[in-house]
Amino acid sequence: MKTCDTHPRYLGLRKPRSKCQKCVELFELKNATCNLCGLTCNLEGDIPRKFASSYGLINASVSGGFDSTPGNGQGALDDMTQYQFSLCEFCLDWLFERCKVPPRVTDYIDYRDESFRPAAERVAKDEWRKQKTIFFVEKEQRDKARNDALRVFYLKNVDAIVA
Ligand SMILES: [Zn+2]
Ligand SMILES: [Zn+2]
């Protein structure tokens, strides 16, 4: 069992990493799972990198309020309840593409707005992107995992959807 020698210790006692809250948080951050496709949000690929991390919306949380609690209020999320989830970049891109109002996309360098283009279009059209094959292999995997999850959902709810 590895001990934590990075984070503050209680009375100078070293804790095993599994009992150090900071270590556990870091581990969860690094190993977040996308709730939609079920795959990892960590994009380290075939070569594990020391500082590889999760990409996307990681450990996001949302709560309802008194006025939104469904059945008692006008919303869909319960009051006094936290919903925590992560979404990988591929699932975010998939969601963005389906949004009636696309997300606002702004360049960090000159703060100019550009219109949203799905990742596949950017990779296919932009000359400067070199690792096109890697992208499409990864995208195909994620699309398949997400489609499998959506298929299960639709089969379970087919009556409600048709009605
Ligand atoms: Zn620690
Ligand atoms: Zn995903």
Side chain identity at 107, as an amino acid letter? D
pLDDT of residue 45: 62
Which position has the higher pLDDT, 46 or 27? 27
Which position has the higher pLDDT, 31 or 103? 103
Mean pLDDT for the chain? 89
Residue 124, pLDDT > 80, answer yes
Side chain identity at 28, as an amino acid letter? E
Of the ligands numbered here, which is closest to the C-alpha atom of 19?
A: 1
CA of 87 to the centre of ligand 2 (A): 5
At 65 the three-state DSSP class reads: coil
Of the ligands numbered here, which is closest to the C-alpha atom of 24?
A: 1
* CA 40 – CA 142 distance, rounded (Å): 10
Which position has the higher pLDDT, 45 or 53? 53
- The strand ranges marked E within 15-153 are 56-63, 82-88, 105-106, 113-114
pLDDT of residue 145: 97
CA of 54 to the centre of ligand 1 (A): 19
As a whole number, mean pLDDT of residues 78-85 equals 94
Instruction: Note if the pTM is more than 0.85.
Output: no
* CA 6 – CA 100 distance, rounded (Å): 46
Which position has the higher pLDDT, 140 or 47? 140
CA of 59 to the centre of ligand 1 (A): 19
At 63 the three-state DSSP class reads: strand
CA of 14 to the centre of ligand 1 (A): 9
pLDDT of residue 134: 92
Which position has the higher pLDDT, 138 or 28? 138
Residue 10, pLDDT > 70, answer no
137-141 long-range Cβ contacts below 8 angstroms, 24+ apart: 138/43, 138/90, 139/90, 141/39
Tokens of 26: 């870091």
pLDDT of residue 146: 98
Rounded alpha-carbon distances, angstroms, from residue 162 to 66, 110, 147, 153, 158: 33, 47, 19, 13, 6
